[in-house]
Amino acid sequence: MLCLGIESTAHTFGVGIVDDKGNILANEKSTYRPASGWGIIPVDAANHHKKSGSKVIENALEIAGISIKDIDIVSFSQGPGLAPCLKVGMEYARYLANKSRRIIGVNHCIAHIEIGRLLTESKDPVIVYVSGANTQILSFSSGRYRCFGETMDIGLGNALDKFGRNVGLGFPPGPKIEKLAKNGNWVDLPYVVKGMDLSFSGIVTECIRKYNAGYKLEDICFSMQEVFFSMLVEVTERALAHLGKKEVLLTGGVAANTRLQEMLGIMCKERGAEFNTVPIEYAGDNGAMIAWTGILHYKSNKNAPCNENDIDIQPRQRTDMVEIGWIK
Ligand code: ATP
Ligand code: FE2
């Protein structure tokens, strides 16, 4: 059985093709890049997806060596995300499902978790999900991925990107900040953890202030990473301790950061917990994660009716709103 999954929540239009054993046959994408100094303009991103969608779908089918006739299920990211972008993904999914294939709406955050679990064989982890718009510490409990801590303002990736944009780094600034940080030294910055929740935006403001006051960019990048990642490690360690779990899974676009991997790895080692990171190709937004999560939904609820009219986008759907039928 084959599922074709479409990702289109924000900057990336991705198409993945995955079988019911978790073999990834294709994972193609095209990414919208905003003009320098700008964040994502939703309508422009949606236009990018409209224009590039057919080609990405064609490429994915070609790489998998199949035609659309071989696809059994079509899944798409239904939220959370930018409504104009989500709508393009849903329209492509409806077109491909062509009223004859089951069409499944997938939560984008859960897809970031499930591709990580598939590729690392992590079983029951505390999940550190850090991407552009989202920062959540999650774990499975009573039928759902429950959120034990999260950002109170912007996501970690967007915090890094916002600082990068303000100091003239190109898009996406995350990897550039990581590189600059390697040659930096400590400067004092605030540290904001409230209970199990985190706040990044005030720290970004202070970093921009320090940059304008003449502090070295490398030093700010280093210190900003140390503070942001320490905050995450603190909350993750507390979640592990309270839940009595023995695994951590790092996923989402910021999982690509090697300093974050190192810091979480050290904490896990000291506690005797296993640490896994999603492979870098699947850290950022991709279609394979949507296809695999489509398969999981299908397997846990095979007889759900194929009613296209019930399918819609959910721009504000939270991770903990979705029932997880595939974990007992
Ligand atoms: P979401 O999953 O919240 O909808 P998204 O779709 O914007 O977010 P992803 O593709 O999962 O995001 O992640 C993109 C983010 O990852 C960007 O903010 C980018 O700066 C960040 N990022 C990528 N590589 C690195 C890195 N090496 N270090 C830090 N951040 C990184
Ligand atoms: Fe994402």
Residue 7's domain comprises 2-112+284-321
According to DSSP, the residues that pair with 6 across neighbouring strands are 15, 76
CATH number reported for the structural domain that contains residue 129 in this entry: 3.30.420.40
Same domain, 136 and 260: yes
Peptide bond between residue 315 and the one before it cis (omega within 30 degrees of 0): no
According to DSSP, the residues that pair with 144 across neighbouring strands are 141
Residue nearest to atom 8 of ligand 1 (CA): 132
**Domain count along the chain:** 2
The answer to whether the CB of 285 is under 6 A from ligand 1 is: yes
Residue 68 neighbours by CB distance under 10 Å:
13
pLDDT digits 0-9 by tens, 100-128: 899 999 999 999 999 999 999 999 999 99
What's the gap in Å between 3 CA and the centre of ligand 1?
25
Residue listed under structure tokens 């839940």: 243
Mean pLDDT score, 180-190: 98
What is the pTM assigned to this prediction?
Answer: 0.95
Crossing angle for the helix pair 173-181 and 217-243, to the nearest 10 degrees: 100
Q: 72 φ, ψ to 5°?
A: -95, -35
Mean pLDDT score, 78-87: 97
- Note whether residue 231 is domain-resident: yes
Same domain, 90 and 68: yes
The answer to whether the CB of 247 is under 6 A from ligand 1 is: no
Same domain, 269 and 292: no
Q: Residue 36 — very low, low, confident or very high, per pLDDT cuts 50/70/90?
A: low
Dist CA 58 CA 60 (whole Å): 5
